[in-house]
């Protein structure tokens, strides 16, 4: 239900959910289909699905006018498929955490369907039933931008439960904005993995013709059910066509585009595997493989220290930002420096030098990691004299780790290791494929 104000506005214009309308409000004009109030959402915001397929929310004030546009109403219903257990298929966990991929909108009724029941899911993507026996769980439904470390912890627990309960692999559906932070977190949190943990999502909702939801979901389930990979990764479209998906290592991948379906790219690495729409899996890089002999129990070490900051360094940037976080009792800071891992060192405006601030934070026991805003390539602490100054002040150059991954790793290390020297040593030790020893020339862009 919407707020009283919206309900009465609709009533007075004889408009209801599913109607196609034009809403005039001050100088603004909106047209589209009236949607029901989203489950998590402000009840005083009217949601309209526009012709381009996107929803907008409008805070309707006094003086709004509605005129109904003609549109034939169709009834809409999901076909119900039987969910039968197939003893020849592997068991795969499907953990649905929200985001575009897990929901579907009925244009006419405006109903929002969440894939929380297997029969609904399989009805909509019948191919899934031929790949695996799916065990679906839905610990929560959270938008990607709102995810935090507590959500990562719950996902990690769910994945461990599913794998220890006999699933061969797990698919995690997740909003795309912060999916690579989440996949990095699980890469560090889960030990003893003996199957694929496949994050997937959609850049375009399943009610748009160009949606990537179905191919991503099918391909992710294929990787979970059939691949030999015992790692956490992200599977999304590998090109702007619907021809293949890439399964990228969870610690070497990044969202590189706001809206393209092939937004996720492996950085300083190749994808682990590529899967075509006819389900052919090609392995592209070395990876941890499933041990078919051994017994494995997945352990989730989910402790996480949220008092870690990720700070971008740029010309004119004020180094007192470090003192700000030290003052708030932060335990770690990851800097996104320039080039090989620089900060302003001997600028003409003396207060702009970051060196004394890094030094003081380091003396207080704050662990400081250095990464590069170039994203590609490796930072270094000894190519130039100024880099050595940065290192001498206490910053630890984090090899070819992505800034986002170094941030997640430091938060996890600080919660799981008491000694500062252990944290510093492990920060530059490869634990989950986050550090690539040798970057090949043809991996760039």
The residues in 77-116 that bind a copy of itself, with binding defined as CB under 8 A, are none
Pair 178, 145: CB distance under 8 Å: yes
Smallest distance from a copy of itself to CB 420, Å: 20
Which among 19, 124, 177, 212 is annotated as catalytic? 177
Is 251 noted as a catalytic residue in this protein? no
| Run of H or E residues at 163 | helix 149-164
Per CB under 8 A, 149 contacts a copy of itself: yes
Please classify residue 39 by burial: count the beta carbons closer than 10 Å to its beta carbon, then call 0-12 exposed, 13-18 middle and 19+ buried.
exposed
Choose the binding region for a copy of itself from 119-127, 191-199, 222-230, 248-256 (rule: CB under 8 A): 248-256
Closest distance between a copy of itself and the C-beta of residue 271, in Å? 14
The C-alpha torsion from 104 through 91 and 298 to 154, rounded to 10°, is: 20
Site for a copy of itself in 382-401 (CB under 8 A): 382-386, 388-389, 392
Residue closer to a copy of itself, measured from CB, 78 or 443: 443
Catalytically annotated residue among 176, 178, 221, 302? 176
Asked whether 350 and 318 are in contact (CB, 8 A), the reply is no
C-alpha span between 27 and 24 (Å, rounded): 7
Answer for which of 15, 81, 143, 431 binds a copy of itself (CB under 8 A) is 143
Look up tokens 């909108």; give the residue: 105
Q: How many amino acids of this chain bind a copy of itself (CB under 8 A)?
A: 91
In the complex, least distance from residue 229 CB atom to a copy of itself, rounded to whole angstroms? 24
The question of whether 277 is a catalytic residue gets the answer no
Question: Which of residues 74 and 257 has its CB atom nearest to a copy of itself in the complex?
Answer: 257
Binding residue for a copy of itself (CB under 8 A) from 4, 11, 65, 312?
A: 312
The SS3 call for residue 261 is: coil
Q: Which residue has the tokens 């005083």?
A: 44
Side-chain-facing half-sphere of 421: CA atoms under 13 Å: 0
* Chain residues 17-56 in contact with a copy of itself, contact rule CB under 8 A: 38, 40-41, 45, 47, 54-56
257: contact with a copy of itself by CB under 8 A = yes
Element (H, E) at 23: strand 20-25
Checking phi first, is residue 433 left (phi over 0); if not, alpha (psi -120 to 50) or beta? left
Which among 155, 80, 163, 164 is positioned nearest to 124, based on CA atoms? 80
Among this protein's residues, is 176 annotated catalytic? yes
* Number of neighbouring beta carbons within 10 Å of residue 288: 15
Binding test (CB under 8 A) with a copy of itself, winner from 36, 111, 118, 339: 339
Q: 49, 104, 255, 265: which is the annotated catalytic residue?
A: 255
Our finding on whether 425 is near a copy of itself (CB under 8 A) is no
100 part of the active site: yes
Asked if 336 contacts 403 with a C-beta cutoff of 8 angstroms, the reply is yes
Rounded to the nearest whole angstrom, what is the least distance from the CB of residue 315 to a copy of itself in the complex?
A: 5
Which residues in 202-241 contact a copy of itself (CB under 8 A)?
240
State the catalytic residues: 100, 176-177, 255
């Amino acid at each position: 239900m919407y707020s009283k104000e919206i309900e009465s506005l609709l009533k007075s214009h004889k408009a209801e959910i599913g109607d196609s309308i034009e809403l005039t409000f001050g100088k603004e004009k909106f047209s589209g289909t009236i949607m029901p109030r989203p489950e998590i959402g402000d009840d005083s915001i009217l949601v309209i699905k526009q012709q381009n397929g996107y929803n907008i929310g409008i805070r309707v004030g006094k003086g709004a006018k509605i005129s109904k546009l003609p549109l034939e109403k169709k009834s809409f219903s999901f076909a119900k498929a039987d969910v039968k257990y197939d003893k020849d298929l592997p068991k795969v966990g499907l953990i649905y955490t929200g985001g575009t991929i897990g929901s579907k909108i009925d244009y006419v009724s405006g109903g929002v369907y969440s894939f929380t029941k297997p029969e609904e899911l399989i009805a909509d993507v019948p191919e899934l039933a031929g790949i695996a026996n799916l065990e679906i769980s839905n610990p929560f439904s959270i938008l990607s931008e709102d995810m935090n470390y507590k959500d990562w912890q719950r996902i990690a627990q769910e994945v461990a439960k599913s794998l220890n309960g006999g699933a061969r692999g797990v698919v995690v559906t997740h909003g795309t904005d912060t999916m690579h932070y989440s996949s990095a977190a699980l890469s560090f949190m889960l030990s003893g993995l003996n199957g694929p943990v496949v994050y997937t999502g959609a850049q375009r909702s399943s009610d748009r013709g160009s949606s990537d939801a179905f191919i991503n979901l099918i391909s992710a389930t294929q990787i979970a059910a059939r691949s030999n990979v015992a790692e956490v990764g992200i599977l999304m479209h590998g090109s702007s066509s619907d021809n293949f998906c890439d399964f990228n290592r969870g610690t070497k991948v990044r969202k590189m585009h706001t809206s393209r379906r092939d937004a996720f790219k492996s950085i300083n690495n190749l994808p682990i595997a590529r899967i075509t729409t006819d389900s052919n899996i090609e392995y592209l890089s070395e990876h941890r493989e499933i041990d078919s002999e051994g017994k494995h129990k997945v352990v989730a070490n989910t402790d996480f220290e949220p008092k870690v900051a990720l700070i971008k360094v740029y010309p004119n940037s004020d180094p007192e930002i470090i003192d700000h976080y030290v003052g708030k009792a932060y335990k770690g800071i990851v800097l996104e420096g320039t080039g090989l891992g620089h900060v302003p060192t001997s600028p003409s405006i003396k207060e702009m030098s970051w060196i004394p601030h890094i030094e003081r934070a380091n003396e207080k026991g704050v662990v400081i990691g250095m990464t590069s805003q170039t994203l590609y390539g490796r930072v270094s602490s000894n190519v130039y004299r100024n880099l050595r100054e940065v290192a001498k002040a206490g910053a630890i150059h984090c090899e070819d780790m992505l800034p986002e991954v170094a941030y997640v790793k430091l938060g996890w290390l600080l919660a799981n290791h008491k000694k500062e020297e252990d944290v510093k040593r492990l920060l530059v030790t490869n634990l989950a494929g986050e550090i690539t020893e040798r970057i090949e020339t043809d991996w760039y862009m």
